[in-house]
Amino acid sequence: MSTFAPEDGRTIRELRDLYDGGKVTPVDAVEAALRRIDRDGNDDEGGLRAFAHSRAELAREEAAEAARRLARGTPLSPLDGVPVAVKSMVAMAGLPQDAGSRVLEGRRAARDASLVGALKQAGAVIVGTTSMDEFALTTLGPARNPFDRSRTAGGSSGGSAAAVQAGMCFAAIGTDTGGSVRIPAACCAVVGLKPTYGLLPTDGIIPLAWSLDHAGPIGRTVADVAAMFDVLLSGVGTATGGEPSGASGLAGVRIGIPSDDYLSIAEPHLQEDFRAALTAATEAGAEVVLIELPDQEEVKGVHWPVLSAEMAAYHLRRFGASEDRYNAPMKEGIAAGATVTAKEYLTAQRGRLVLRAKVDEALTGVDVIALPTLAVDPPEMGRTEVELAGRPEDAVAAMVRLTSLANHTGHPAISVPPGTTPKGRPAGVQLIARHYDEQRLLSVAAGLEALG
- Encode pLDDT of 227-281 as tens digits: 999 999 987 766 655 566 555 579 999 999 998 888 999 999 999 999 999 999 9
Ranges of beta strands (E only) in 348-397 are: 368-372, 385-388, 391-394
Give catalytic status of residue 180 as yes or no: yes
Cα–Cα distance, 435 to 443 (Å, whole number) = 15
Give the residue-averaged pLDDT of 207-225. Answer: 98
pLDDT for 1: 37
Give catalytic status of residue 150 as yes or no: no
Cα–Cα distance, 375 to 325 (Å, whole number) = 32
Cα–Cα distance, 154 to 131 (Å, whole number) = 11
Cα–Cα distance, 174 to 217 (Å, whole number) = 6
Q: At what angle do helices 114-121 and 222-234 cross, to 10 degrees?
A: 100
Convert the pLDDT of each residue in 42-75 to its tens digit: 876 789 999 999 999 999 999 999 999 999 999 9
Question: How far is CA 319 from its chain centroid?
Answer: 27
* HSE-CB for 27 with a 13 A CA cutoff: 11
* HSE-CB for 328 with a 13 A CA cutoff: 2
User: Between the CA of residue 39 and those of 47, 54, 60, 147, 272, what are the distances in Å?
Assistant: 8, 13, 17, 17, 37
Bond before 142 cis per omega within 30 degrees:
yes
Instruction: Confirm whether pTM is higher than 0.85.
Output: yes
Cα–Cα distance, 448 to 281 (Å, whole number) = 7
Q: At what angle do helices 438-449 and 268-283 cross, to 10 degrees?
A: 100
Q: Is the pLDDT of residue 6 over 60?
A: no
Cα–Cα distance, 135 to 147 (Å, whole number) = 25
Q: At what angle do helices 296-319 and 328-338 cross, to 10 degrees?
A: 100
Maximum Cα–Cα distance for the chain, whole Å?
Answer: 64
Ranges of beta strands (E only) in 71-184 are: 83-87, 125-130, 144-145, 148-152, 171-176
Q: Is the pLDDT of residue 188 over 60?
A: yes
Q: Specify whether the CB–CB gap between 161 and 218 falls below 8 A.
A: yes
Give the residue-averaged pLDDT of 339-358. Answer: 98
> Which residue pairs, CB below 8 angstroms and at least 24 apart, start in 360-363?
360/409, 360/434, 361/292, 362/256, 362/291, 362/292, 362/293, 363/256, 363/411, 363/432, 363/433, 363/434
Q: At what angle do helices 342-362 and 296-319 cross, to 10 degrees?
A: 130
Q: Which of 114-118, 244-248, 421-425 has the lowest mean pLDDT?
A: 244-248
Q: Specify whether the CB–CB gap between 207 and 104 falls below 8 A.
A: no
Cα–Cα distance, 85 to 159 (Å, whole number) = 10
Which residue is catalytic, options 101, 157, 180, 404? Answer: 180
Which residue is catalytic, options 101, 131, 156, 308? Answer: 156
Q: Is the pLDDT of residue 287 over 50?
A: yes
Domains of the chain: 1-452 (3.90.1300.10)
Q: Shortest CA distance to 185 belongs to which of 207, 208, 206, 156? A: 156
Convert the pLDDT of each residue in 218-237 to its tens digit: 999 999 999 999 999 987 76
Q: Specify whether the CB–CB gap between 309 and 277 falls below 8 A.
A: no
Give catalytic status of residue 77 as yes or no: no
Convert the pLDDT of each residue in 146-165 to its tens digit: 999 999 999 999 999 999 99
